[in-house]
Amino acid sequence: MDILVFVCAAAMILCGALGVVTLRHPVHAALSLVLTLFGVAVLFVAQNAHFLAVAQVIVYAGAIVVLFLFVIMLLGVDRVEDLHAEPFKVQRPLAIVSGVALAGLLIAAVVASQHTNVAARGAGLPGVNPVRNDLHDGNIVALSKDLFSGHVLAFELTSVLLVIAVVATVLLARRSRGIDAAPTDGQAT
Amino acid sequence: MISALVASDFATPHVDYHALAPEIVLGVGICLLIVLDLFLAESRKWLVSTVAGLILLGAVLPVVTLGVIGSDVRSMFDGRYVIDNFSLVLKALFLLSGYVVVLMSSRDTEERTPYQGEYYTLLLTSIMGMVMMASARDLVSVFVALEFLSIPAYMLAAWRKRDSKSNEAGMKYFLLGVFASAVMLYGMSLLYGVTGSTRLVDIGQAVTGTDHLVGVQVLGIVFVIVGFAFKVSAVPFHTWAPDVYQGAPTPITAFLSVASKAAGFVALSLLVFLAFPAAKSVYEPFLWVLAAVTITVGNLLALKQKNIVRMLAYSSVSQGGFILMPLAVAGTGDARTSLRAVVVYLIIYAATNLGAFAVVMAVSRKTHSGEIASYGGLFNYAPGLAAVMTLFLASLAGIPPFGGWYAKFGAFKAVLEARTGAAYTLAVIAAVNTVVSAAYYITLMREMWMKPAPDGDESPVRVPRNLVAALVITGVATLAFGVLPGFSGYGAITGLAGAFGR
């Protein structure tokens, strides 16, 4: 059963990922990204990480892909992008070679460490009770405990980071008042 | 529901507010700046830069009191956030170089940008990320700190929205930075997967000995190092640096080439010394190659540059190689000496490089050019500027008795103490490159001292007061670190830096 679920989910992930890269239409590419993200969510469920699976579906498959689609719509899907323009002829074969090499390296590393007894494989967060009681998913309790004790500073500061990201985005999108016109210092060439 | 939460044994984490005071001051300051900017009239916007400078100095205060009170290690959140001497020295470095950057920016932003409040807010946020990085002892904190310091920097690099070069700088920095983050995050997840913990110390205990290294562990280590190699612009991951440095506003270029790079090196040292000290068979050869290639390629490319900012960009790539050098022998040599060499190099390099960029800003106020040829005759109409620039260039080249000499001395000492063939080879490569690097620094000196002004215009350069202050701070620091190594507080600083609390 485990194997079956894994094979199906893995096939979903791989097909989706291939679709993102190969499909010509940006909307289709974004939709096959949803397939990949769903596949990952299925894998999370198979690992008993239900909370993570739900978050994955809501945040990634939901919010982020919708955002992608919005941007694609705003930019206009009808415009034809010529993907065959190549400034450097060697780039594409080089990218293929290095991509294949990287994939080979990863597979080799995983295969090589397959039989080693890796410390605490799949142990997950400390204190997770894999046996769920009736009301709660043990994951949520463990996750929140971890988030609000060990990582509380990083967690709180991330909120500041979000504010800053908003400030930067507004600034980037805002129409300037025309003072920052001409570059006049060291950068002028 | 509530009963279940009560039943779960949640212990409120211990928060040491004195130890967190620098971060708190900066955090409150960032919010204060955003609000202040809303209520200031356009004619009084100059206040923003003053307030930003004061916030930075205010954040230095608790760093000083923490340093004075004692050398005991303050550890919070289960050892994930640690205040020790190493982090205090680097926090002070980040805050003070941030202050110098504010001094350098103030006149520039007043004259040229309508968004002063946002500029300083982003600058302070980036500095806050660096301050966090110095204390982070956990993969999650390291990553959050890295994003904290990078995201505002992407925006700052693209600050001149109308200038296509600045747009290009922001875009390149963003894309390559995000790519590096992705690679690093992948490495981190592999490390977490095989060790079962995100704490650096736990990872250090799980990654034990050369014979137990697993393929996935090796990949994790290499990917994480590659991610930070982008940040410190080590060759071959340096391609973004010259374009970004040229396109960004000059104070931001100075900031990126000094503070942002230093933060990358801090993270790299944390990983090397805490997370995988036992994996020296993996990281040492890798860092060895990175260091050798970085020093050499950076130098060769710097030789050909006609634009001073690009020249300084490649020179800072090459200087980064010198900082990588002690890390490449951290396992076989003495770890303490290596760590000290890295920290000392970072401090001196920060003072020197910030100073060089301050001179570039001062001169370009008159010449409006970035060409090296435009520095002709500088000694005739601005002898002071020519003298301090010579000081900074000599320090960068490593000529005694200026600071850079002492920094290079420390790096070479750390490498030679390793006493292996590889270490000696690296030292020889670095020594040859030191000589080569002198060539382009001296070319610029000759331009300033010997050549006539290219357009015959010899009217004096009017340097704004804040820029003078920046020049004085960096100049005195560069000189003092070289002339008086081991004198007064300096010996204490280097001593402090060697102690690495866990």
Residue B336 falls within a domain, yes or no?
yes
Per-residue pLDDT at A116:
59
Give me the CATH number covering residue A41.
Answer: 1.20.120.1200
pLDDT greater than 60 at residue B492: no
Q: Judge whether residue A9 has pLDDT over 60.
A: yes
Does A9 map to a domain? yes
For residues A101 and A139, state if they share a domain: no
Quick count: other Cβ atoms within 10 Å of Cβ A73?
11
**Same domain as A75, residue A1:** yes
Tell me whether residues A185 and B364 touch, CB distance under 8 A.
yes
Residues A70 and A4 in one domain: yes
- A contact residues 109-148, partner B, Cβ 8 Å cutoff: 109-113, 116, 118-121, 123, 135-136, 141, 145, 148
| Burial class of residue B40, CB neighbours in 10 A (0-12, 13-18, 19+) | middle
Mean pLDDT on B28-57: 87
Position B24 pLDDT exceeds 80: yes
Which residue range forms the structural domain that includes residue A60? 1-82
Q: Is position A186 within any domain?
A: no
Q: Is residue A69 part of a domain?
A: yes
Measure B307 CA to nearest chain A CA, in Å. Answer: 8
Nearest CB among A135, A152, A184 relative to B368 is that of A184
Q: How many structural domains are present in chain B?
A: 1
A177 contacts chain B (CB < 8 A) = yes
Q: Is residue B447 part of a domain?
A: yes
Angstrom distance (rounded) from CA B41 to CA B44: 5
The residue-averaged pLDDT of A143-156 equals 84
Q: Assess whether pLDDT exceeds 90 at residue B114.
A: no
pLDDT single digits (tens) B267-326:
998 888 888 877 778 888 889 999 999 999 989 988 888 888 888 888 999 999 999 998
> Between residues B292 and A89, which one has the greater pLDDT?
B292
pLDDT at A1: 76
Residue A83 has pLDDT above 80, yes or no: no
Percent of chain A at pLDDT above 70? 74
Of B112 and A69, more confident: A69
> For residue A104, is pLDDT > 80?
yes
User: Could you tell me if A151 and B77 are in contact, meaning their C-beta atoms sit under 8 angstroms apart?
Assistant: yes
The pLDDT of residue B294 is 92
Enumerate the β-bridge partners of residue B76: B81
Look at A152 and B194 and tell me if their CB atoms are within 8 Å: no
- Give the model's confidence band at B101: pLDDT under 50 very low, under 70 low, under 90 confident, else very high: very high
pLDDT average, residue stretch B467-490: 75
Q: Is B307 helix (H, G, I), strand (E, B) or coil?
A: strand
Which tops the pLDDT comparison, A173 or B484?
Answer: A173
A69 and A96 share a domain?
no
Same domain, A12 and A77: yes
Q: Which residue of A has its CA nearest to B156?
A: A168
- Torsion region of B79: left, alpha or beta (phi above 0 gives left; psi -120 to 50 gives alpha): left
Q: What is the predicted pLDDT for the residue at A165?
A: 87
* Domain-embedded: residue A17: yes
Residue B152 CA to residue B129 CA, distance in Å, equals 10
In the predicted structure, residue B192 carries a pLDDT above the cut 70: yes
More confident residue, B368 or B341: B341
Q: Tell whether B186 lies on the interface with A, counting CB pairs under 8 A.
A: no
Of B12-16, B70-74, B446-450, the range with the lowest mean pLDDT is B70-74
Q: Which residue of A has its CA nearest to B117?
A: A167
Query: Using 50, 70 and 90 to split pLDDT, how confident is the model at A41?
Result: very high
Percentage of chain B lying above the pLDDT 70 cut: 92
Give me the mean pLDDT over the B220-233 stretch.
90
The predicted structure's pLDDT at residue B369: 76
Q: What is the mean pLDDT of residues B185-202?
A: 85
Is A72 in the same domain as A4? yes
| Residue B109 confidence (pLDDT) above 80 | no
Interface membership of A108 toward B (CB under 8 Å): yes
User: A139 and A172 share a domain?
Assistant: yes
- Which structural domain, as residue segments, surrounds residue B460? 279-502
Indicate the number of domains in chain A: 3
B48 assigned to some structural domain: no
Interface of B with A in 288-327 (CB under 8 A): 307-309
Q: What per-residue confidence (pLDDT) applies to A121?
A: 43
Domain shared by A46 and A13, yes or no? yes
- Residue-wise pLDDT for B45-58, tens only, equals 778 888 899 999 99
Question: Would the pLDDT of B392 be above 70?
Answer: yes
Q: Same structural domain for residues A119 and A161? A: no
| pLDDT band at B6; cut points 50, 70, 90 | low
CA distance B196 to chain A (A): 6
> How distant is the Cα of A142 from the closest Cα of chain B, in angstroms?
9
- Give residue B354's identity as a one-letter amino acid code: L
Cβ pair B138:A151 closer than 8 A:
yes
The whole-number average pLDDT for the span B363-373 is 80
Distance of residue A165 Cα from the nearest chain B Cα, in angstroms: 7
For the cut 60, the answer to whether the pLDDT of residue B501 exceeds it is no
**pLDDT: is A130 or B304 the higher one?**
B304
pLDDT computed for residue B213 by the predictor: 66
B451: pLDDT strictly greater than 70:
yes
Find the residue in B nearest to A181 (Cα). Answer: B162
Residue B7 pLDDT > 90 = no
Whether B153 is in a domain gets the answer no
Q: What is the mean pLDDT of chain B?
A: 84
Residue B203 contacts A where some CB pair is shorter than 8 Å:
no
**Domain annotation covers residue A188:** no
Judgement on whether residues A3 and A64 belong to the same structural domain of the protein: yes
- The verdict on residue B186 lying in a domain is no
> A172 and chain B: CB distance < 8 Å anywhere?
yes
Q: Tell whether B50 is covered by a domain.
A: no
The model's confidence at residue A15, banded by pLDDT at 50, 70 and 90, is: very high
Phi, psi of B325 (to 5 degrees): -55, -50
Query: What is the pLDDT, as a whole number, of residue A14?
Result: 93
Q: Which of A113-122, B135-144, B342-351 is predicted with the least confidence, judged by mean pLDDT?
A: A113-122
Tell me if A23 is assigned to some domain.
yes
pLDDT of A177: 58
Mutate to test the interface with A, among B80, B135, B139 (most CBs of A within 10 A): B80
Choose the weakest-confidence range: A118-132, B224-238, B376-390, B414-428: A118-132
Separation CA A150–CA A162 (nearest Å): 21
Candidate ranges A172-176, B418-422, B438-442; pick with highest mean pLDDT: B438-442
Tell whether the model's pLDDT for residue B124 goes beyond 90. yes
What pLDDT is stored for residue A134 in this prediction?
A: 46
A140 and A68 assigned to the same domain: no
Per-residue pLDDT for A189 more than 90?
no
Residue A142 scores a pLDDT above 70: yes
Is residue B440, in this structure, part of any structural domain at all? yes
Three-state helix/strand/coil letters over chain A: CHHHHHHHHHHHHHHHHHHHHHCCCHHHHHHHHHHHHHHHHHHHHHCCCHHHHHHHHHHHHHHHHHHHHHHHHHHCCCCCCCCCCCCCCCHHHHHHHHHHHHHHHHHHHHHHCCCCCCCCCCCCCCCCCCCCCCCCCHHHHHHHHHHHCCCHHHHHHHHHHHHHHHHHHHHHHCCCCCCCCCCCCCCCC
Is pLDDT at A77 greater than 80 in this prediction? no
Asked if pLDDT for residue B231 goes beyond 70, the answer is yes
The reply to whether B274 falls in a domain is no
The Cα–Cα gap between B266 and B164 comes to 33
Stretch B63-76: mean pLDDT = 78
DSSP B86-144: HHHHHHHHHHHHHHHHHHHHHHHHHHH-S-HHHHHHHHHHHHHHHHHHHHB-BHHHHHH
pLDDT of amino acid A79? 61
- Residue B308 tokens, joined: 């001073």
Mutation to test the A interface, candidates B14, B35, B144, most A Cβ within 10 Å: B144
| Window 11-40 of A, Cβ < 8 Å to B | none
Contacts of A184 in chain B (CB under 8 A): 364, 368
What's residue B486's pLDDT? 54
Q: How far is B77 from chain A (nearest CA, A)?
A: 5
